Amino acid sequence: MRRSPVRRRPVRRATVLLAFGGLTLAAAACAPASQSSDGQPSAAAGDATGTAATASCAKDGLTLVTPGKLTIGTDKPAYEPWFKDDDPANGQGFESAVAYAVAQKMGFTKDEVVWAVVPFDSSFAPGPKKFDFDINQISITPERKKAVDFSAGYYTVKQGVVALDGSTFAKAATLAELKDAKIGVQAGTTALQAVRQVIQPGADPSVFNQQIDAINALKNKQIDAIVVDLPTAFYVTAAQVEGSKIVGQFAAQSDAPEEFGLLFQKGNGLVPCVDKALGELKTSGELAGIESRWLTAAAGAPELS
């Protein structure tokens, strides 16, 4: 979604073209030859296969924007709880912590990671990128995958509805009760699609270029509610909009869960190696630990059906 008063984000970075077919084959070797139903390497995979995958994803063999450095893109401002103190390089906040955990699994030290400022909506535009991957609450969607590549998902998203406490729609218990609300969302986010397809309000949502603009509109009572990803909703109510509350949460789509993914230039051979790192973080429980530390639990956000 993204970024998903709000601070934001906007719901949210040169070129990494593989010049030789051999490099493409080498990168593809990062994907396990045998996988279980959950996408993790199967215990039946041979040691030789595992050794080949590890060798092909060795740091000194990767094609990078800057040799020896892992360049990661994100937006500015970089909002909490995804980042802390508007400083992606400090390793604090959910996405900063995830980025450094992935980098470490790939063999990069913290001082070998470089951050690039990339506006949210330009990250998934077609064309060359100035980053190796971008992390910025970017939901994986079929439309975006036409122009860029994504890693496996690293966070499953729910949308949150925020309104001023005591307002007409603050007590809504169902999505149907929000149909007459004037809802604000950030342009380019999956929140816009979620409002139109799931809530289906009588009036089209108000669309703002920046999330902060939507937040200010809520503060000034120009709109009745905003829709952002759930962790952002908690931050908005706790730190950005006094007297606001989370009306509830809902899934952005019914057929499959919405997930945030790391974003790459189309055809980037790093994808299987990053997926390998994410798989290790999921299997070890480290990714779940990072989520538990930095993202507020969903208590107090009732499901809107």
Taking only the tens place, the pLDDT of each residue in 166-222 is 999 999 999 999 999 999 999 988 899 899 999 999 999 999 999 999 999 999 999
What pLDDT, in 10s, does the model give residues 12-28? 433 333 333 333 333 33
Report yes or no: 1 and 159 within 8 Å, Cβ to Cβ.
yes
Given a cut of 60, is residue 7 above it in pLDDT? no
Instruction: Give the three-class secondary structure for 303.
Output: strand
Given a cut of 90, is residue 8 above it in pLDDT? no
Band the pLDDT of 2: cuts 50, 70, 90: low
21-156+257-294: CATH architecture: 3-Layer(aba) Sandwich (3.40)
- pLDDT at position 37 is 36
Strand segments (E) across the chain: 70-74, 113-117, 133-134, 148-157, 159-164, 183-186, 206-208, 225-229, 244-250, 258-265
Ordered by start, the domain boundaries in the chain are 21-156+257-294, 159-250
**E strand or H helix at 102:** helix 94-105
Band the pLDDT of 295: cuts 50, 70, 90: confident
What is the model's pTM? 0.71
Q: According to the CATH classification, is domain 159-250 in 3.40.720.10? A: no
The C-alpha atoms of residue 248 and residue 183 are separated, in whole angstroms, by 14
Structure tokens at 71: 């360049």
Domains 21-156+257-294 and 159-250 equal at CATH topology level = yes
